[in-house]
A and B are shown apart, each in its own frame.
Chain A
């Protein structure tokens, strides 16, 4: 579903290497967790996958569509939740969802059905006619999530999706992620909550200092050490990477 080939990205005219020659394949039907310390390059990678940033080198395809050369077709297949909640504050929640449905060309029946379904799931029905600028942090996160799921994309890309969600909404989202993948779709998400990654993900990628230092299932990452938690693995790998042992 996602193919990343030798992708690099620098800021400040090459002075800061945010992502350094990453290659990765994310298959259909899997939940892929993307973890790493603050400033490791997670959000930059996600922004390149979604077409917000242009890679300096390398190529990214979504279901075979190059995000740079064939952006509209690639973006049609993505439902994206960013780590920040910057939205059109002057629109109501419903107007925002209608806008998203229009730009993704969602049929009327489906948009109505999905808005009702997700608004009920995230307990946002009563606030849809309010301006987004009056929403709390969690409500903004919920409206972005509904917008991302509205057009039933085969690929969800979620950057820190649990941030700001109440326990009920957080649980509902995790269940949705599993059921989405059970239908042969894909979820690519970043998180700092390692327990969630350990419980939900089929495979995990660990990024540090812009480099992908490990990719695999939890068992593969444990490397035979039974009982080791993802937290232990994470600290071990990131500390080793800082010490230059990778």
Chain B
């Protein structure tokens, strides 16, 4: 246990820059103030976002309470957070556990593999705990305060929140260890890893869709009545997306024996999974992690040298794509949105269309031409296309190999153009996936999806340019794992926020135009003109900025 804390302390100090902060406090006050300033900006952004989220949650709670279903807010947020932790955890675990640069160093230490695994797992747990606290504390407090709950409720809420990340993260760990065990036996490990990771994510989402759609096809009305009349029916019904989330919610809201049993079941499953995972990690964790470090054999059979020729810009573009596709961490983070977007758009095929309440919505979407559907779909394509870290970490990902970009005789505008088109190509591919999903899943007409695609193509130029600019301002080269290069990179978070702001701005403008009864065609033309102008301006500014900023990056 002592070794666990020694390792954990060293890794936390290194990862979160605690040692650097202490050293700067002593020797470099200016750098210390800068770090504290950055921390303050991050804290302010988090508080602002959590505040906004709490306001929305409160409004939603008021409505559901009025309808006699106050528990909805808890079960929805608990199950959503557990699903998100499981999906993102899978990507995080693969990168942090199996593709870290310190694996070789840790393997040489006289420390058991289970201890190394436990310290890494605990760091991911802390990360996800912060997420679940930000997501769940507001809803638990709103519920507890409004319903006049006792001290016991708050005590159980704290216990449940502390345990929330365990089950999804342990499931992800088991899946990723089994995947890595399989991958370590294959020749083309990285490609198998990328394909396996994407397949696992797709399976999880399909599984979720099927669980959610598991409503009896006949007697919907009776079924829903039965749910509402039962004390725990609604929670169990909504918790089916991730069954342990129903236990977590019941454990907190019910003061009776069923609540106690739910709490025991929830904690019991967490502990059981932990007991199963740790010994398994001892057996196969290093096998997977160290298979990534195997050295090439030399002096094998000579092969004929075959070297085609490309322009410098195309060479940089190809290098970016090869790097992304061969790094499981980069591929899963950059391409998962594409897969998720496509599968989520297929939701109606998993039973949603049979739901009488949703029938009207489908008729509205698939029916006659509507500018709202066209623009909403364009917004969705744009968001799914742009919310990935490919463009916003395009400089950071070079890490310590950035010297190559500085010494090659390719001017910085050309290099940044190649990086822009790389990020843009991923965004376009994701938008295409959503487009395909919209046609197959929702049956939206080709004319509408093509119109949406055209608008999203223009808006994504602006978003990609903004993402590249953000990474140029402050690239993060100092990373130990590829996961850190993208997931702990503030640039990707800032770019996602910027993307959200842009989509919300277009939404707001469209809403205003609709309110003033401006014709559909004029709304489309105005949106298109604004999208085209901002695309040109942002792209040109990106090139200009790259030319002045690149030489300063050291």
Contact = CB atoms under 8 A, between A and B. Distances in A.
B357 interface: no
B315 A102 contact: yes
Interface in B327-354: 327
Interface in A76-91: 76, 78, 80, 82, 84, 86-91
B409 A76 contact: yes
A87 B295 CA distance: 15
Nearest to A80: B407
Interface size class of A (residues with CB under 8 A): 35 or more
A198 interface: no
B515 interface: no
Contact of B552 (A54, A97, A104, A136): A54
Contact of B406 (A51, A107, A115, A116): A51
Given A50-B406, A86-B401, A88-B323, A126 B301 contact: yes
A121 interface: no
B296 A131 contact: yes
Interface string A48-88: 00111110000000000000100111011010101010111
B298 A78 contact: no
| B interface majority secondary structure | loop
Q: Max chain B CB contacts within 10 Å: which of A53, A91, A119, A133?
A: A133
Interface size class of B (residues with CB under 8 A): 35 or more
Interface stretch (B105-113, B251-259, B302-310): B302-310
A124 B302 CA distance: 9
Given A90-B327, A91-B323, A131-B296, A125 B302 contact: yes
A156 B327 CA distance: 32
B295 A136 contact: yes
A128 B316 CA distance: 20
Interface string B387-413: 000000000000111011011111100
B312 interface: yes
Contacts of A51: 406-407, 551
Contacts of A71: 409, 411, 551
A134 interface: yes
Nearest to A138: B298
A100 B409 CA distance: 10
B294 interface: yes
B407 A75 contact: yes
A126 B190 CA distance: 21
A246 interface: no
Contacts of A135: 295-296
B30 interface: yes
Contacts of A78: 407
Nearest to A74: B409
Contacts of B551: 51, 54, 68, 71
Interface string B513-554: 000000000000000000000000000000000000001101
Interface string A207-228: 0000000000000000000000
Interface in A8-30: 12-13
Contacts of B316: 103
Nearest to B411: A72
Q: Max chain A CB contacts within 10 Å: which of B322, B399, B401, B409?
A: B409
Contact of B407 (A12, A13, A52, A129): A52
B305 A116 contact: yes
B299 interface: yes
A91 B322 contact: yes
Contacts of A116: 305
Contacts of B554: 52-54
Contacts of A195: none
Contact of B297 (A13, A82, A102, A127): A127
A183 B454 CA distance: 58
Interface of A: 12-13, 47, 50-54, 68, 71-73, 75-76, 78, 80, 82, 84, 86-91, 94-95, 97-105, 107-108, 111-112, 115-116, 119, 123-131, 133-136, 139
Given A71-B551, A103-B409, A126-B300, 16 more contacts: A12-B28, A51-B551, A53-B554, A54-B552, A68-B551, A72-B410, A88-B404, A90-B323, A91-B319, A99-B315, A103-B312, A104-B409, A111-B307, A112-B305, A130-B297, A139-B296
5 contacts: A71-B409, A99-B319, A102-B311, A105-B312, A139-B296
Which 3 pairs, one residue from A and one from B, show the smallest C-beta to C-beta distance?
Answer: A102-B315, A130-B296, A126-B300
